[in-house]
Structure 1
Amino acid sequence: MASGANSFDYSSLKELLKDTNAEVLLPGDGEVYEKSIERWSEHCIKRAAAVVRVTCADDVSATLAQIRKHNIPFTVRGGGHSTSGAASIKDGIVIDLSKMRKVTVDPEAKTIKAEGGTIWEDVDVEAAKYSLATVGGTVNHTGVGGLTLGGGYGYLTGKYGLTIDNLLSVDIVLVSGDQVLASSTSHADLFWAVRGAGQNFGVVTAFTFQGYEQKNPIFAGPLIFLPDKIPQIVAFANKFHKTNDGNQALLWGFSAPPPANAPVVLTQLFHNGTEEEGKAFFADLFELGPVANMTAMIPYAQLNSLLNQNAGFDGRKQFGGGAFKLPLNPDFVIQLHAEFNAFVASHERMNESMMLFETIPYKKIIEVPNEKTAFANRGDYYNVATMFKWFDPSLDSEIRNFSRDLLKKASETATSRSKDSGVGQYGNYATADVEADEIFGANVKRLEELKHKYDPDNLFSHGTRLTPRPLVVVN
């Protein structure tokens, strides 16, 4: 695919796409270009040869036509939140969806349609006008597209499942330029694939979700503890595993955030109900004596902004992921904290890094078998993640290796998951060196066959892991 990239005159795109509504930005276009290549992680900023800001599906089709004709490498930017670099490219084209942020709510059908460039704040705010919500991310400046196509966990997962379990259809532009609707009744095989592996098959220009009536306000917020409370926090997480009814979520982990820059244990509480109910459910944590209590009754639309301060746009960042099972041994968690804290403390300006145990109820998730969607991480376990933040590029490899080793150790608890359980690797947290079968498990063969059907020349290859595999029919 890249053979024609060096000889192509990218400035000609302005003429080639003049009959569209797309905006073509080139490296010589000053601040507007520089702004267009910014990403959540500075680690992922790459100088694209051109950025095409599309406004509709027709713009995407026209851009893909030029990409096919001139054999140009490309990638797609939704929210720009990926730490694997999938939303950036050097010396190729970025199809930038950031101008496509319209959200349309049908209050009678309780559906929410979000264009491909929306972020979760757009969805949460618009849906709230109709007292609706759907399963979205826990950081609201995350792109709807990236989170959804990779599966999607959120505060409402305990009640409604994954984001993809509430996805009714996608409007998608295929590599051919064809614009199709994929749903359970139209292009059903493609709809199966996009729910977990969508980046491999086309450019999704709109997502339609099932919405649900959402009571307001809800009880949520952080409690912050000193590390000596780890045994009691682990004990509560073990209890939470047995006592939640799907209307709660608990995120907890380690960091050393400003201004004190001292090690603490962060907990993020959510109860889809009243303050009285929430405080009763999380009473064990409140009784521990947190050093900070920022819980409150808040509008649901604000919920997904609570972690934003821990996920700012400065610095280099890397996500990594694994799985853990409850109950956990407190001594094991103390050991993980000691290793994490020692590493962070030994490097300058790394204190905002986090290790997070996402105790989001999985009962609704595992009601859907792993083979029913491309997403293969449904199981009797929870996600554990690291988010390292640093500023010195020379540390990139060291951090990647440490994160991988720490997560491997944390994931030892999940080796006993049931035999029909998922892979134990959330694709949206996977680093670039994680292989396709580690993310998609037994689904990888069908995905590669569908890749051959919908993208046989593997044009959607940047930041993806699937390669086309022709279907072999044995007579």
Structure 2
Amino acid sequence: MVPVNDFRETLRGTLVQPHDKGYHEARAVWNGTIDRHPAVITKCAGTADVIAAVKFAREHDLEIAVRGGGHNVAGTAVCDDGIVIDLSEMRAVWVDPRARTARVQGGSLWSDVDHETQAHSLATTGGIVSHTGVAGLTLGGGIGWLMRKHGLTADNLLSADVVTADGEFIRASDDEHSDLFWALRGGGGNFGIVTSFEFALHSVGSTVLAGPMFWAANDTADVLRFYRDFARDAPDELGTVIRFGTIPPLSAVPEELHWRSAVAINACYAGPVDEGERVLRPLRGHGTPLLDLVSPKPYLAHQGGLDSTVLHGWHYYWKSTDLPELSDDLIDVFVDHAFSAESPRSYSVLFHLGGAVSRVDDDATAYTGRNSPHNININGVWRLDEEERYAESETTWTRRFFDALEPHREGVYVNFLDADDGTQRVRESYGEYTYRRLAEIKTEYDPHNVFHLNQNIEPTV
């Protein structure tokens, strides 16, 4: 039994234990396959609560899990028997429109950031799903619609407030604790608990030309070969994500197309709408699309457009890898595997990187995927009531598709590692030089590996 009475009195937030109402809701995370039972959940109201929770956990030798948005597929935001330091009620966002910066609390979601920054027609690179947490996305690198124009989320990080493994509060930036600041931009949650982030913002109008185009699955090879040449010359303003799977039953989709197998290219042009119309015209005119939903729309609407296709509580099993340009052999792998899942909810997404992402020096941050043109994320998905029907088939499909990509693999994005991706894949995500440097910084700030429930980088001693 964890002695929490005195600890509870030190908090401005709330403390939840297994016998308390709301415990099961508090321990649930986005990925429904995660079913862990912490001894105590501390819903922090501010940085002081985070400091108190770290010190309490260290005093009583409790394993620590840190929850921001709780969106990580590996489920590391919750643990068995230990303490969850939960920042999900720390979601304030302060925007300075003149300086074009935003200060964002560590429990914020991207919908929180977008809502506040778009009031000033500003934005920074966020995820492609608006209920993704800011902290996890940023600390792993941060790929999203605006990355080719404005860089990764981590590239837009100006400073971070951090609670260390000793319960100390420090600020990391280019001028303060610069080694830690380097590590935070890609090294994940290994080095401390970030209670707030300061981001650079960019002028992104309230309206963007954006949306998906769908072609029949049988047209995949032809569409990808055309896209290969189209994307090679695309301007930085154009962000595209290819989705392989079935067409979700969205309100904008005619009912006769619901759940039909298709390849979709989802686009967002971060520039004037008339320029975007010109840039996208060749792609929109290629072949015979089943449906074209590209149109001028609020940036906020586009940011949340995929939210209903990846709901909280569904069961997810992922594999991911960085990929080179789309050779004919690689395209054949997509054709052979992308549409063979049994669950209609399973899908794969192929991100187009490059642009501003590739123009940052390799050693400027801990993120190491800058030289790869693409990243693919293979997602086996099913609901709890479909567990018996789909769990085995979708896990097998995901692994089989991933194995078929072996000849083309170039690395891995750490945010897309699943729970069963071991230490070797963490090393693969960084490479030996960057991993060794991260391990040295880990040794300085967390020598006892207090923060190990993550894609862990072990200290050198």
Identify whether the pair has TM-score above 0.5, normalized to the shorter chain. yes
**1:139-218 superposed matches below 5 A:** 139-218=129-208
Amino acid at match of 1:277: E
SS at match of 1:44: coil
Given that 1:250 and 1:358 are in contact with CA atoms closer than 8 Å, whether structure 2 keeps it comes out as yes
Change (3 A) 1:304 1:412: farther
| 1:429 corresponds to | 416
Q: How many residues align structurally?
A: 445
Deviations 1:151-205 (A, max 9, x none): 0011111111111111000000001111000000000111111111130011100
Root-mean-square deviation (Å): 1.9
Change (3 A) 1:273 1:376: closer
**1:9-88 superposed matches below 5 A:** 9-10=1-2, 12-30=3-21, 32-88=22-78
Shift in Å, 1:14: 4.0
Greater alpha carbon shift after TM alignment, 46-55 vs 366-375: 366-375
Change (3 A) 1:300 1:96: same
Deviations 1:127-170 (A, max 9, x none): 01112111111111000000000000111111111111110000
| 1:352 corresponds to | 345
Deviations 1:289-318 (A, max 9, x none): 322222221122222112212211242112
Q: Distance in 1 between matches of 2:450 and 2:359?
A: 34
Q: Distance in 2 between matches of 1:332 and 1:166?
A: 32
| 2:270 corresponds to | 272
| 1:137 corresponds to | 127
| 2:453 corresponds to | 462
Q: Distance in 1 between matches of 2:101 and 2:272?
A: 26
2:369 to 363, 373, 377: 377
**1:253-272 superposed matches below 5 A:** 253-259=243-249, 260-272=258-270
Given that 1:324 and 1:411 are in contact with CA atoms closer than 8 Å, whether structure 2 keeps it comes out as no
SS at match of 2:210: strand
Shift in Å, 1:396: 5.2
Given that 2:380 and 2:397 are in contact with CA atoms closer than 8 Å, whether structure 1 keeps it comes out as no
- Corresponding position: 1:311 with 2:325: no
Shift in Å, 1:44: 1.7
Q: Distance in 2 between matches of 1:174 and 1:468?
A: 14
| 2:291 corresponds to | 292
Shift in Å, 1:369: 2.4
Shift in Å, 1:332: 4.4
Deviations 1:81-136 (A, max 9, x none): 11111111111111111110000001111101100000000001100111211111
Amino acid at match of 1:323: D
Q: Distance in 1 between matches of 2:272 and 2:437?
A: 45
Shift in Å, 1:357: 1.1
Shift in Å, 1:275: 4.2
Shift in Å, 1:397: 6.4
| 2:337 corresponds to | 339
Greater alpha carbon shift after TM alignment, 14-23 vs 157-166: 14-23
| 2:381 corresponds to | 389
Gaps of 5+ in 2: 250-257
Q: Distance in 1 between matches of 2:416 and 2:188?
A: 15
| 2:356 corresponds to | 364
SS at match of 1:197: coil
Greater alpha carbon shift after TM alignment, 391-400 vs 222-231: 391-400
| 1:5 corresponds to | none
Amino acid at match of 1:444: Y
Shift in Å, 1:335: 4.2
Shift in Å, 1:233: 1.6
- Corresponding position: 1:90 with 2:80: yes
Q: Distance in 1 between matches of 2:394 and 2:346?
A: 11
Q: Distance in 1 between matches of 2:148 and 2:17?
A: 45
What TM-score does the superposition give when structure 2 sets the normalisation length? Answer: 0.91
Q: Distance in 2 between matches of 1:39 and 1:431?
A: 14
Change (3 A) 1:390 1:77: same
Q: Distance in 2 between matches of 1:105 and 1:79?
A: 20
Amino acid at match of 2:218: D
| 1:421 corresponds to | none
Amino acid at match of 1:325: P
2:407 to 396, 408, 412: 412
Shift in Å, 1:279: 3.2
Shift in Å, 1:282: 2.1
What TM-score does the superposition give when structure 1 sets the normalisation length? Answer: 0.89
Q: Distance in 2 between matches of 1:245 and 1:284?
A: 14
Shift in Å, 1:428: 0.4
Greater alpha carbon shift after TM alignment, 404-413 vs 302-311: 404-413
SS at match of 1:407: helix
SS at match of 1:372: coil
Given that 1:237 and 1:359 are in contact with CA atoms closer than 8 Å, whether structure 2 keeps it comes out as no
Change (3 A) 1:277 1:228: farther
Shift in Å, 1:258: 4.7
Given that 1:77 and 1:96 are in contact with CA atoms closer than 8 Å, whether structure 2 keeps it comes out as yes
Q: Distance in 2 between matches of 1:312 and 1:91?
A: 27
Greater alpha carbon shift after TM alignment, 263-272 vs 75-84: 263-272
Given that 1:357 and 1:384 are in contact with CA atoms closer than 8 Å, whether structure 2 keeps it comes out as yes
Gaps of 5+ in 1: 1-8, 416-423, 471-475
Q: Distance in 2 between matches of 1:359 and 1:265?
A: 15
| 2:233 corresponds to | 243
Give me the identity figure in percent.
30
Q: Distance in 2 between matches of 1:35 and 1:429?
A: 24
Change (3 A) 1:195 1:450: same
Given that 1:325 and 1:381 are in contact with CA atoms closer than 8 Å, whether structure 2 keeps it comes out as yes
Amino acid at match of 2:347: M
Given that 1:234 and 1:328 are in contact with CA atoms closer than 8 Å, whether structure 2 keeps it comes out as no
